[in-house]
Structure 1
Amino acid sequence: MAHSAFTVSSGDPVLDRRLDWARAFLAEGDARACAELLAETVADAPHFAAAWFLLGEARVALADRDGAAEAFARVRALDPDDALGAGLHLARLGAAPAAGAMSAAYVRTLFDQYADRFDTALREKLAYRGPELLFDALARAAAARGRPLAFAEGLDLGCGTGLAGVLFVRVVERLAGVDLSPAMLEKAAALGLYARLQAGEMGAALDAAPDASLDLVLAADALCYVADLTPFFHGARRTLRPDGLFALTLETHEGAGVILRDTLRYAHSADHVRALAAQAGLAVVLLEAASTRAEKGVPVPGLVCVLG
């Protein structure tokens, strides 16, 4: 990963210990003590991106929006790849546009760190059932279109550890997967389900697919990391064969358009999805409200969608 060596460490063990103490202060609810210690730390080590990032979080807790924005902006300057996700926090503070705020380096880092406990965390802690809801929706959509639930070529966008692949490989002859996280792909490869796995961006993989080469495009809990769905909808329209289907889950909200939630995931309104589908020349075969996961025991509003 091409981000600064000082993203995680200052290079000075004494200052690194200060970061640990500050993190403990914040975990205990003492944001002021955390901020004061970190202000001293970044004065001694202005290159220490992790300290600036935690200082931003402490200032958010203290309702110091300007101070938080200043800290997160320093992180962005120190680490242009934005592996820590400072751009998302700037967007939440209204100091940067929400579109394009989520960097590839952030997503890759997040899921590389998460890979070993990903399946357990999703299933047991977040009650995740996206693949099951999506598979059921796809079966009903195929029946509505009068086509069999069988696909020759499929592409699983943001395939992760292969949670969706386990279900969909039953009805897809050759299923390919793409994900930004090499650690997640190692888990997916161990399943032996995918005809091909690629480390890279979802959009680039879809762009690389030839016209009318796919029968099924999947995106299970992957597009919540994307603000602008337009390229994906147009990409699906271009790459799908005439009877192909695009099956996806999204997080949603009651307002208009797209918002960045406080969980740093994007939520798209149902009307927004319908409008984007129409612009791309995709028919809405099925669009239903369904929660694919819970957070703190509360279902997260979501959509299950199949486009043709």
Structure 2
Amino acid sequence: MQTDLPTRDRPQAQPQVSLAQAIGHVRQLLAAQQFGQAQDLCSSILGQIPDEPHVLQLLGMALHGQGRSDQAVPVFARLTELLPAQAGAWTDLATIQIEAGQFDDAATSLRRALELDRGSVAGWNSLAVLGLRSGRLDDADSALRSGLEIAPHDGQLLYNQGLVRQQQRRFDEAVGWLERAIVAEPQDPQRRLSLAQVLFELERFEQLAAACRALLQLGHHSAAVYNKLGLAAMKLARFSDSESAFRAGLAIDGDNRDLHYNFARMLFLQRRHEESLVHCALVIAAEPALAPMREMITSCHLALGDRDAAVANLQQWQAIDPHTARPAHLLAGLGVAATPERASDDYVREVFDDFAASFEQKLRTLDYRAPQHLQRALEAVATRLPEQPTMLDAGCGTGLCAEFLHRYRGRLVGVDLSQAMLDKAAARGDYDRLERDELTAFLRRSPAGFDAIVSADTLCYFGALEQVLLAARDALGRRGLLLFSLEALDDGASPYLLHPHGRYSHSRAYVERVVASSGFDILALDRQVLRNENELPVHGWIVTAQSSEPVEQGDDGRV
């Protein structure tokens, strides 16, 4: 609050001195965050000297400090009536209106402030804050550019520009702005916390750890900082450091769910399953239907050889949240229910809508290689494609396969059940069209629509492959190409098997048989490592097939 308030004329000197002393006392109370006492003293002064501008401003600040922004708004509005030509009074009013969620009124106040003073850094900054709070990021960016032309080193403007870039998910740029903001005000912990969050999004875990240590050196010992430090150490496989950080955070806030959640994950990665279950239970006590924790509890029990406990956990989850599809599918993987021919649409949507935000980061930790295997497989048969082919990324997810498919300079279509995944894929800009649909149904509505279909780790959510492969055959043009990955089932006694983790694996013999019977010639069927899971390789099949030539018949109907 930076309104330039005039001193009111008074007939005697003594009241002026007494007022100055009283105002000084109020300021001391505000600095000590004794907002209630500051409010009482302001009210007492205003009872004797109504509409004293300095005291009105301090009263508004005291109310704001107590989280009573709605009550502070009329106080600052009165200031603009007393000082209508003071740009700072309008800026102060707008700041409080933003806090109170009165965004339209705040915009009006800011326009008035900037009419009075186009050079008001505070005015441009408040306009930017309004854009940030209301989601109008382009407006915020424009306001900050105007402010930075006037004050290129203003720490608050630099910080807010970093927040704009963060919300725009332009994280590399956000880092630069936030670092400049920290140089301007190195003691402000909030700027370093924002930088830490951006570094986490960028997976710059060494820098994240350094940012957290800098916060601790400033004396900012909070559960949030220790949580981020623990996460950084966990991602860097420094498990001892990670454990120390999580324990330090829990010493500050023993009920912090984020700390228990991440500590459970770290212990699980170290195969300390019994200890992990302790922290899982604390999270579940507060959020009984939290899917990642329920799934981790299942995995811990299975790792400890306690199938009954795993089943009981899933049944409890099912009873608590009967609308979720996950526990029923996982129970089928444990043999408690009949194995479905494929994962239900609801199951796939739930898993991948929840997974979308961290999908690519998670796959990097697993050394995920299916897209690279399919890229090489497609390159090996690329001469069989027409120029500028129409290609389908079947189960496109966030668009990892688009990185190589769009190089063929044809038309690229993506289909997926998860809208959250499709939103990520759309942000890449590589697709000509994206559709939210179940794969088999989409293929059946696309006769002869594609020259090639590529599917990375989608058919592992199908057990029986007959229907989806027949639909793929019809969706391909003459001699179209089909490339896909599956998880390998080495036990040839069964065609496919649903596992407790929710995915299917398929035997080589079944894959060969069903691909051929669906109207394809197998060009290659290679065994590859698709990823690592729990430090063990997950093997799979990379299948390259081409639709068979139609069988020609003679006039008498004989082949």
DSSP 3-state at the match of 1:102: coil
Does structure 2 conserve the Cα–Cα contact (< 8 Å) formed by 1:149 and 1:171?
no
The structure with the largest alpha-carbon Rg is 2
Which of 420, 425, 446 is 1:188 aligned to?
Answer: 425
Does structure 1 conserve the Cα–Cα contact (< 8 Å) formed by 2:342 and 2:461?
no
Structure with the higher fraction of residues in helix conformation: 2
What residue is the counterpart of 1:137 in the other structure?
377
Matched, 1:292 2:530: yes
Task: Provide structure 1 residue ranges, at least 5 long, that are not aligned to the other structure.
Answer: 1-16, 42-47
DSSP 3-state at the match of 2:529: coil
What residue is the counterpart of 1:3 in the other structure?
none
In 2, Cα distance between the equivalents of 1:195 and 1:120? 25
In 2, Cα distance between the equivalents of 1:268 and 1:225? 11
Matched, 1:276 2:276: no
Does structure 2 conserve the Cα–Cα contact (< 8 Å) formed by 1:203 and 1:232?
yes
In 1, Cα distance between the equivalents of 2:527 and 2:464? 20
Which of 342, 347, 353 is 1:106 aligned to?
Answer: 347
What residue is the counterpart of 2:545 in the other structure?
307
In 2, Cα distance between the equivalents of 1:182 and 1:25? 29
Does structure 1 conserve the Cα–Cα contact (< 8 Å) formed by 2:342 and 2:462?
no
In 1, Cα distance between the equivalents of 2:260 and 2:290? 11
DSSP 3-state at the match of 2:353: helix
Which of 205, 208, 215 is 2:442 aligned to?
Answer: 205
CA-atom RMSD in angstroms = 3.5
Deviations 1:30-50 (A, max 9, x none): 48x86xx89xx8xxxxxx655
Does structure 2 conserve the Cα–Cα contact (< 8 Å) formed by 1:56 and 1:71?
yes
The 5 A counterparts of 1:22-101 are 29-30=273-274, 65-66=307-308, 68-69=310-311, 72-73=314-315, 75-76=317-318, 79=321, 81-83=323-325, 85-100=326-341
Deviations 1:11-33 (A, max 9, x none): xxxxxx8x9999788967448x8
In 2, Cα distance between the equivalents of 1:66 and 1:132? 39
Which of 496, 499, 503 is 1:258 aligned to?
Answer: 496
Counterpart code for 1:127: D
Distance 1:25 1:190, change over 3 A: closer
- Return the offset for 1:119: 1.7
In 2, Cα distance between the equivalents of 1:25 and 1:138? 41
- Return the offset for 1:186: 1.2
Does structure 1 conserve the Cα–Cα contact (< 8 Å) formed by 2:374 and 2:484?
yes
Which has the larger displacement, 188-197 or 101-110? 101-110
Which has the larger displacement, 281-290 or 107-116? 107-116
Distance 1:253 1:59, change over 3 A: closer
Which of 115, 133, 138 is 2:356 aligned to?
Answer: 115
Displaced runs of 4 or more, over 6 A: 19-28, 54-59
Which has the larger displacement, 149-158 or 55-64? 55-64
Distance 1:152 1:59, change over 3 A: closer
- Return the offset for 1:61: 6.5
DSSP 3-state at the match of 2:530: coil
Structure with the higher fraction of residues in strand conformation: 1
Matched, 1:168 2:405: yes
In 1, Cα distance between the equivalents of 2:310 and 2:360? 33
Does structure 2 conserve the Cα–Cα contact (< 8 Å) formed by 1:81 and 1:105?
no
Distance 1:139 1:60, change over 3 A: closer
- Return the offset for 1:252: 0.5
Distance 1:50 1:149, change over 3 A: same
In 2, Cα distance between the equivalents of 1:286 and 1:101? 25
Which has the larger displacement, 97-106 or 221-230? 97-106
- Return the offset for 1:100: 4.1
Counterpart code for 1:267: S
What residue is the counterpart of 1:225 in the other structure?
461
State the structure with bigger RCO (CA 8 A, min sep 6), 1 or 2. 1
TM-score normalised by L of structure 1: 0.76
Which has the larger displacement, 57-66 or 152-161? 57-66
Does structure 1 conserve the Cα–Cα contact (< 8 Å) formed by 2:413 and 2:432?
yes
- Return the offset for 1:208: 1.9
Distance 1:219 1:101, change over 3 A: closer
DSSP 3-state at the match of 2:490: coil
Which has the larger displacement, 298-307 or 150-159? 150-159
